[in-house]
Amino acid sequence: MNASQPIASTRRADLPVLFALSATHLLNDMIQSLIPAIYPIIKTAYALDFGQIGLITLTFQITASLLQPVVGAYTDKNPMPYSMVVGMGCTLTGLIGLAYAGSYALLLISAACVGLGSSIFHPEATRMARNASGGQQGLAQGIFQVGGQSGGALGPLLAAFIIVPRGQTSVAWFSAAALLAMILMVWTARRYAELSKAAAAAAKPAKVAAPAPAAPTHSKAQIAFAITILVILLFSKNAYSQSFSSYYTFYLIGKFGISVQGSQLMLFLFLAAAAVGALAGGIIGDRIGRNRILWFSILGALPFSLILPFADLFWTGVLTVVINLIMASSFAAILIYAMELMPGRIGLIGGLFYGLSFGLGGLAAALLGEVADWIGIEAVYRLCAFLPAIGLLAWFLPKVEHRRG
């Protein structure tokens, strides 16, 4: 038991809370995924080049990455479940801005608002999922992640059938999703507060001393080294994913000549595979251990990513689904591995990995946009094929105790 698990230690996994968190994660990430999903529209409407497209991604990711670790570190000491509602309010503001922006500068500001909402949401939601796990950490993170991955996959699909036919202003319609998310967040925060009070009340009659945080089993230098490697692993995965989120539609249109709607459907298949992979990886990781899942995601995806640039349209669709299915399976394992290295710092870990790693992925997207303007989009995907090989750094990770619920 450690201080980050006051609720999980007293009961089984709280599935209503986990499903509510997953639903809010779905709505949050669905709204965020509308940003890259509308790139083909705004590229033409605002006469943007790939470098400017990448800068929009960078603005969104950097806004989120700079604040998430700070928010996480603060809420580790001062939990603020209702802060998620404030974060979704920022996202709602950015959403409306994206719908009615009259200039490129306003697009950047709106993307920054969406990023700010993400920076507030993820650390607190990650801790709440951990505390509601009942010890089944992989299951809890898998349920939480499947919501986010599903939401990310829905963006291109909604763009294909709603935004592309009806134009940029139809983005405002998704304000309803933001309002629904805020309602769910209020319920989840209230439920979480009730369970916390019940757990505290149950402990008082027994006069049980508050548990101290679990003592680290590694030195500070070892922990810092391991966390650095884990951030690099997530960076390689996020950079690869960002290359698809930001430029896959342009790659398909340029190489195979398919329509914008067709390219959005292909992007949906790629992102939907991540939802399945995240849930499966979390559940299987509880049973076979984190390290095995990590190695499977590395060695399993690399051969397919190397073949992808040379495939025809059909096999491009098949390979992208397989690649993302395998790569996404390790996200819960990486997150839980870091939590076990630093027990009691769940908000910081959530903020660090959602924030820093995704921010670095946004930086990679901006750089890839500049490279695409220089050498072409197809050449970029030949370079990106080697990104999964960075995962071989997992060889240097120290062993951690696999804690079962």
pLDDT given at position 304: 93
Percent of the chain surpassing pLDDT 90: 18
Residue 3 belongs to some domain of the structure:
no
Residue 325 belongs to some domain of the structure:
yes
Terminal-residue alpha carbon distance, the chain: 10
Q: Distance between CA atoms of 156 and 36, rounded to whole angstroms?
A: 8
Per the structure, how many domains does the chain have?
1
Residue 29 belongs to some domain of the structure:
yes
Residue 315 belongs to some domain of the structure:
yes
User: DSSP code of 342?
Assistant: S
pLDDT digits (tens, 9 = 90+) for 239-274: 888 788 778 888 898 889 988 878 878 888 887 887
List, in order, residues 6 or more apart from 198 with CB less than 8 Å away: none
User: With the CA atoms of 312, 314, 319 and 320 taken in that order, what torsion angle do they form, in degrees rounded to the nearest 10?
Assistant: 100
Q: Distance between CA atoms of 184 and 109, rounded to whole angstroms?
A: 27
Q: Distance between CA atoms of 378 and 401, rounded to whole angstroms?
A: 43
Residue 4 belongs to some domain of the structure:
no
pLDDT digits (tens, 9 = 90+) for 187-206: 988 887 776 676 666 655 54
Residue 5 belongs to some domain of the structure:
no
Residue 403 belongs to some domain of the structure:
no
Residue 210 belongs to some domain of the structure:
no
Range of the domain at 53: 12-202+216-396
Query: Do 132 and 13 contact (CB within 8 A), yes or no?
Result: yes
- Tokens of residue 85, six digits: 């509602």
User: With the CA atoms of 316, 392, 145 and 68 taken in that order, what torsion angle do they form, in degrees rounded to the nearest 10?
Assistant: -120
Say which CATH number the domain at 33 has: 1.20.1250.20
DSSP for 371-392 reads HHHHH-HHHHHHHHTTGGGGGG
Model confidence pTM above 0.85:
no
Name residue, tokens 């993170």: 141
Nearest to residue 134, comparing CAs of 248, 8, 247?
Answer: 8
What pLDDT tens digit does each residue of the chain (405 aa) get? 343 444 444 457 688 888 999 999 999 988 988 887 788 888 888 988 888 888 888 888 778 777 777 788 887 788 788 889 999 999 999 999 999 988 999 999 999 999 899 888 888 888 888 888 777 777 787 888 888 878 877 877 787 788 878 888 888 999 999 999 999 999 988 887 776 676 666 655 544 444 444 555 667 888 888 888 888 888 888 788 878 877 888 889 888 998 887 887 888 888 788 778 877 887 787 777 777 888 888 788 889 999 999 999 999 999 999 998 888 888 777 877 888 888 777 777 877 776 666 667 767 777 888 888 888 888 888 888 898 888 888 888 877 655 444
DSSP for 157-217 reads HHIIIIIHHH-GGGGGGGHHHHHHHHHHHHHHHHHHHHHHHHHHHHHTTTTPPPPPPPPPS
